[in-house]
Chain A
Amino acid sequence: MPLRAKVATSVSKTAAALSRAAGRGDGSVIGGWIGLKIDPELLNHLAGGRAIALISGTNGKTTTTRLATAALEVMGRVATNSFGANMPTGHTSALAKAGSTPFAVLEVDEHYLARVIDATEPRVVALLNLSRDQLDRAKEVSMMAQMWREALANHPDVRVVANADDPMVVWAAEGSGHVTWFSAGQRWHDDSFVCPQSGHPIERANGDWWCTGCPLRRPQAQWRVEDEGVVDPRGDWHLVKLQLPGTVNLGNAATALAVAAEFGVRPIEALPRLTNVASVAGRYAQVDRDGRNVRLLLAKNPASWLEAFDMAEQAPTLLSVNARDPDGLDTSWLYDVDFSPLRDRPVLITGDRAYDLAVRLEVNGVPFRHVRTFDEAIQLVPAGRLEVIANYTAFQDIRAELDRVL
């Protein structure tokens, strides 16, 4: 490593430690920011000598990164950005902090994927899904797919692990030389009614899909979820025991196994390590309070709300919605989410924008009760499980109320 990069690494680690010591944050961004100021090529230098997997997509990347890291640890030490700091500053901090490791698994914000591929020359890139995020618009989904497609075309040696169920992802990945397809399902279809290649409608039936105007269609998946397990490319079925809830996380586990396989890790070696993963950056964490077992689920965009309904048990459910800057100021996305899966559960609502949610639930025919605080919700539900589904800052608020440092 050049001297400039060594100095930058050292200063970066010091800044991260100072930030943590001062209680200003977990140091996952500031260290990288300072390091990159000193040496703009620092991420390239820190990536050198490591076998790296990048994980990107709109939803599930933090969890999949955590699971793939656990799987790769079979082989040795793995650097990772486990706090979800998924831009180059976060990658720089994570690699600087980890010191020398043979492997790294990095979660990458979908907007930065091209840059991070250039900087880190990864062995594997995993593409999970693309759908509208709160602040984004539908058109940006196909623009993002186009950016991914170009980034991969510039790196034909990268091995791609991609979701066969998402037309946007398939189009982004299909030009690449080495693609391993996985099937993790796609619950959200609203951003891929129209083929990104031809502009014609996409038809769907029985889990299959195809463009009505060009040859783009669902490729055969080598890895897929079946019952409570995952089928590998040889056709062997493996039972997957996870502490993380829902079929969505089975799909994330299938992706993690496919990524690990590119490094030579066999499912049978990786599976016990996936079972050990209990929570991911506070998500899915369970907290006991006054005899209630509270589970926290983060839902940050329409697709992830649908996934959260799938993960949650048939138990009393608290929904909390804010519309602060990180959430997006606009709540109209509430009408892109079908809340009807909650009709059979006792539903409580709270958050800055509880009234928007109230009107939405009325229209959706979902009975609910409004509470002012999280504590009020706790008092209203019987002993047992309380599922909490919240968007970004509402999730942070509830975590703070639970007074839990994760």
Chain B
Amino acid sequence: MSSESTLRIVWIYPDLLSTYGDRGNMLILARRAAMRNIPVEAYEIRSDQPMPSSADIYLIGGGEDGPQALAAQRLIADGGLHRAVNQGAAVLAICAGYQLFGHSFFAKGTKCPGLGLLDLHSDRGETRAVGELRGDIDPRLGLPPLTGFENHGGRTHLGPGVSPLARVTAGIGNDSQTEGAWHGKILGSYSHGPALARNPAIADLLLRWAIGADSLAPVDDTWADRLRGERLAAAGA
């Protein structure tokens, strides 16, 4: 797409999966890279366009059953995302996008094949999970607690090939015990919409994975920290 030193971010199918401010994750990643003087190019790839396999970070967001099933079909047929992941691209997959990274998910009452890039499968819960979500992130990732807002009807069951992203301390996540999943450089979460707004450390983790750095220059996160403090407290004990 362009020179080797530029960080390339792809937002997958915003025409299908962009229900709740999912654009925010792309904007936040681009801004945090720019603050470290990392040149960034961001691409929005619509579902009628071929998926490039040479980008560094891929983002996929939430959506309704119909668009979710369609997105999975097109990504499987296209193959570009699989090639990108095999080449070591970093991924943040949210809600419907998280589910379709697994082996299977339910949409409109039908079991649909997923991308099989994360060892998990999803089905329907008895109730819809709506509200503040909080969890302690896998200590191996070295991140502060996860805070988010969840709004989903699915439940996700993890296989041995992935680790939970977090242990739930408030809310539902995958199943009231664990929330999200990660494997290699792929992160999946039910913390919906602009999840990185409340979790800038996850944004920095994706940037570090993408550029192969152990650390990044610190940036002023005064407002994000205030927001985190408020939302972590609002989620209760």
Contact = CB atoms under 8 A, between A and B. Distances in A.
B9 to A, nearest CB: 14
A331 B192 CA distance: 11
B27 A334 contact: no
Contact of A332 (B20, B67, B131, B226): B20
Contacts of B63: 138
A137 B19 contact: yes
A363 B151 contact: no
A282 interface: no
Interface stretch (A102-110, A236-244, A283-291, A354-362): A354-362
B66 A335 contact: no
B15 A201 contact: yes
A355 B15 contact: no
Nearest to A136: B19
Contacts of A194: 15
Q: Is the interface of A mostly helix, strand, loop or mixed?
A: helix
B131 A329 contact: yes
Interface in B212-237: 223-224, 226-227, 230
B64 A137 contact: yes
B23 interface: yes
Interface string A355-395: 11011101110000000000000000000000000000000
Nearest to B224: A359
Nearest to B228: A355
Contacts of B46: 201
Interface in B112-140: 130-131
A228 interface: no
A190 B223 contact: no
Contacts of B24: 332, 334-335, 360, 363
A258 B20 CA distance: 35
B72 interface: no
B19 A138 contact: yes
Interface of B: 15, 18-24, 27-28, 31, 46, 48, 63-64, 66-67, 130-131, 149, 151, 192-194, 197-198, 223-224, 226-227, 230
22 contacts: A137-B19, A139-B64, A139-B67, A201-B15, A329-B130, A330-B149, A330-B192, A332-B20, A332-B193, A333-B20, A335-B23, A335-B24, A335-B193, A335-B194, A336-B20, A336-B23, A356-B197, A358-B223, A359-B224, A362-B223, A363-B31, A364-B27
Given A355-B226, A363-B197, 5 more contacts: A138-B63, A331-B149, A332-B20, A335-B24, A336-B20
